[in-house]
Amino acid sequence: MLSALAEDRARIADLDAIISEMERSICALRVERELAQERLQSYKYPVLTLPNEVVSEIFLHFLPIYPRCPPLTGILSPTLLTLICRSWRDVALATPVLWRAISSSDTSEIPFAKQLEMSVIWLNRSRSCPLSFQMADGQSLSTHDEMTALLSTIIIPHHRRWEHLKLGLLPHSCLPAIASGPMPLLRHLDLALVEASDVAVVTVAFLELPLLRTAIVDCVTAAHAILPWAQLTSLSLDRVYPHECVPVLKQTPNLVHCTLWLFFFYGDDSSLFDELTLPCLEALTINNPGHVRVRVMKFLAKFNVPALRTLQIPERCLGPDIIRSLASFISNSGCKLNEGSICITGARTISEEAYRMAFPSIAKFCFTGQYHFYASEEMTEESSSEVEDDDD
């Protein structure tokens, strides 16, 4: 019994010695750990040493170029910059220009109510910056309440800050609300409206738009919105008939760039239109979503555009005698295309060589469609038939 007790005492002494040695080792490890931690804390990542002004500029170049709008979330969104670290979040929230371009998308997985909430947050973060807003398809707003919310929380309260505004396919009943206040900073307006058969259409005059220079409007907007047409330098009329766009074009003496998406029907009689003079027009683009050729040239024959330098037009809009029609337009319009360029869009029945041989003095020709030589005879027959229909 006494020997067993002696053995336990000896074992305890051995364990105490081992524990003391381990405690010394642990103490040394703790000291080494603290030194390593101090070295880590003293290290500054190079990017975190940059002045906040430089970081803000880097952030600005991360986003799509203004006035293009970044997505509300995900890659290329300023929201992503707030999720990297606290330092970057502070810089992003203190940089108003990061939040000045806002988009609402019907293809987004974010519910509209959430998009609206996020847009309000962005508007607050943008402080007093001029704004860009884009909504491509207003028809995605399924209820009147959603439409009212958009107008009352986004568009109307900030009308003095809008610089670039794109609203697509909104009910035309929204026009009075959109035009209800002055927009002293607005430079670019892209507006498409949809008529409703059960609502009376009213004509609305926009108030103060002193800086507006570019407008993209559809037939409903062109007919029922009174804009400062005379101060525009760039105008796109989308899906309009000649009788709808002529009254507008007559009010645009300072127009430099013009794009026309033209519809035609048999009631359009170009003989009813007076000569249309656009003294400053340098670039004219014609698009025709239908298959009419002759009527476009009858319409364009009314144009007097002495400053024109660039013409873009589908070949099928040049009528049955393509080369002759183009030469007639150049001659009668008073333009100086010989010093500029012509772009023939869409499918062609005339080769590039034939164009260049017919117009050797044109500085530049470009072509976007394929040449279908086998279709020449067929298209000529269709054109001849079309001419006969016109004569009737």
Q: Is the pLDDT of residue 329 over 80?
A: yes
Amino acid at 107: T
Cross-strand bridge partners of residue 314: 345
DSSP string, 158-210: GTTTEEEEEEEEEEGGGHHHHTSS--TT--EEEEEEE--TTS----EE----T
Which pLDDT band, with edges at 50, 70 and 90, does 200 fall under?
confident
pLDDT over 70 at 76, yes or no: yes
pLDDT of residue 389: 44
Confidence of residue 392 (pLDDT cuts 50, 70, 90): very low
Contacts of 94 (CB under 8 A, 6+ apart): 52, 56
Give yes or no for a cis peptide into 67 (omega within 30° of 0): yes
pLDDT, tens digit (0-9, with 9 covering 90-100), for 240-291: 988 889 999 999 999 999 999 988 755 566 666 788 999 999 999 999 766 5
On the question of pLDDT at 139 being above 90, the answer is no
Please give the Cα distance from 81 to 77 (Å, whole number). 8
- Does pTM surpass 0.95? no
Helix (H) / strand (E) element for 119: namely helix 112-125
Please give the pLDDT value at position 6.
Answer: 84
What's the pLDDT tens digit per position in 105-120?
Answer: 766 788 888 999 999 9
Mean of the pLDDT values across residues 149-174? 92
Q: Compute the distance between CA of residue 173 and CA of residue 2 in angstroms, rounded to an integer.
A: 107
Domain range annotation of the chain: 228-392
Instruction: Kindly state the average pLDDT of the residues 129-155.
Output: 82
Residue range 301-321: average pLDDT?
Answer: 92
Q: Kindly report the number of other CB atoms within 10 A of residue 370's CB atom.
A: 8
Enter the DSSP assignment of 321.
S
Token duo for residue 34: 């603290």
CB count within 10 Å of CB 329 equals 22
pLDDT value at residue 195: 83
- The answer to whether residues 267 and 241 touch, using CB atoms and an 8 Å cutoff, is no
Closest CA to 189 of 127, 262, 115, 134: 134
pLDDT digits (tens, 9 = 90+) for 201-253: 789 999 899 999 999 999 999 999 999 999 999 999 998 988 889 999 999 99
Q: In the chain, what is the straight-line distance between the N-terminal and C-terminal CA atoms, in Å?
A: 134
Give me the mean pLDDT over the 325-336 stretch: 90
